[in-house]
Amino acid sequence: MAVTSLPVDLLSPFLKPLATDKKSMYNCLLVSRLWCRTIVPYLWRNPFQLIIYDRQNRSKTQALLKTYFICLENDKKSSLLQEFKLDALGTLSDLSSPTFQYQCYLENLPDSRLLSSIGSWFTKPEASAQDRLAQSLCFKALFEMFVRDAKNLKVLELWGIFWNLSIDNTAISEIIHAIQIQQTKLKQLKISFRNVLISNEKVIRSGKQMSGIVESQKKLESIIIDQGGGKWMDICLNALTAQTASLEEITFKECSFARSFSLQSGYFEKFVNLRKVEFLDCEGLNDEFLTSLSGQVNINMDTKTIVFMPNDDIKSYNVFDTFDVTRQKKICKD
């Protein structure tokens, strides 16, 4: 039997090693219809990782987003095209029906890259209020489509831009609620408050919405919390306790624990499968807490990066070191 005529279940093992070789995968699309149907899901698992938003890549970015825009429901496409002038898309009659439902294959959804990609449709150096509204509504339509249709989504990145969109709180709540209902099998969640415009009301609301997403997950294995602090941090830490049976890795990046009361001695003992905890450039970690992690009395508080593995001693690294840690060995490079 020729390789080109193999059934899908036998063809997949041949194609998996090529998954990161985009050029070869694109060439394989032309072999046969069967190969094309089999390969397209590989190519559309994480297309946003290839997005480098600059002038040279503008056309590629626009092409990617146009493909996804075509996959929207007709009423959504028509509404957006009628309300806003999106020259990069043309008119509704210019948009042919998609060959595949590309949004169904997505496995990694980064909200910040999606929004910056949508920005490639707008050519003005400074976006007007109308442009910002258009970007926000396009983002909402596409993001909701991904949440609804991407049945194999494994990684979700929420970098705090939700609460700065030019849409009302009700619309934001609808997006968050959709994630909680339709995306409950994430493997990794990356959440950041780096770009949130601060107000006390927004702190509490966004923190509760984030915690709702964490609590809704059934088998979350890894979480990265970026730029959290104060009330945010307490809300997030309390939400993590809903994942004590599944979480294997927890990373805190540039977080402040100075006003957090939830990270107390014994906190990580609740996580039965936890293999690794990282504190990267964090502040407010006191001697008492660090001692409770490792059983050590003398901890170097000048260290910016701490890697803690349950049942092992705490491992501290200077922020200027590049490191890779396993239970068996430590590799440090200057």
- Confidence at residue 97, expressed as pLDDT on a 0 to 100 scale: 81
160 band by pLDDT with thresholds 50, 70 and 90 = low
| 322 strand-pairing partners | 333
* Residue found under tokens 């997950």: 217
Q: What is the DSSP string of 226-242?
A: ES-BHHHHHHHHHHHGG
Q: For residue 85, count other CB atoms closer than 10 A to its CB.
A: 12
Check residue 46 and report its DSSP letter: S
9-41 pLDDT per residue, tens: 666 666 666 666 777 777 778 777 888 888 888
- Confidence at residue 6, expressed as pLDDT on a 0 to 100 scale: 58
Tokens of 204: 């509490």
Give, for 83, the enclosing helix (H) or strand (E): helix 74-83
Which of 50-54, 96-100, 101-105, 329-333 has maximum average pLDDT? Answer: 101-105
In one-letter notation, the amino acid at residue 57 is: N
pLDDT at 116 over 60: yes
Q: In the predicted model, what is the mean pLDDT of residues 186-194?
A: 89
Q: Exposed/middle/buried for 295, CB within 10 Å: 0-12, 13-18, 19+?
A: exposed
- Confidence at residue 223, expressed as pLDDT on a 0 to 100 scale: 96
Q: What is the DSSP string of 81-146?
A: HHHS--TTT--GGG-PPPSS-GGGG--EEEHHHHHHHHGGG---SS--HHHHHHHHHHHHHHHHHH
- Confidence at residue 7, expressed as pLDDT on a 0 to 100 scale: 62
List, as own/partner pairs, every contact residues 15-19 make where C-beta atoms lie below 8 angstroms and the sequence separation is at least 24, other chains included.
15/39, 15/42, 18/42, 19/45
Tokens of 10: 């036998």
264-303 pLDDT per residue, tens: 767 888 888 888 888 888 887 766 666 666 544 333 444 4
Q: In the predicted model, what is the mean pLDDT of residues 214-230?
A: 90
Q: In the predicted model, what is the mean pLDDT of residues 240-248?
A: 94
194-221 pLDDT per residue, tens: 766 555 566 667 778 888 999 999 999 9
322 band by pLDDT with thresholds 50, 70 and 90 = very low
332/172: higher pLDDT = 172
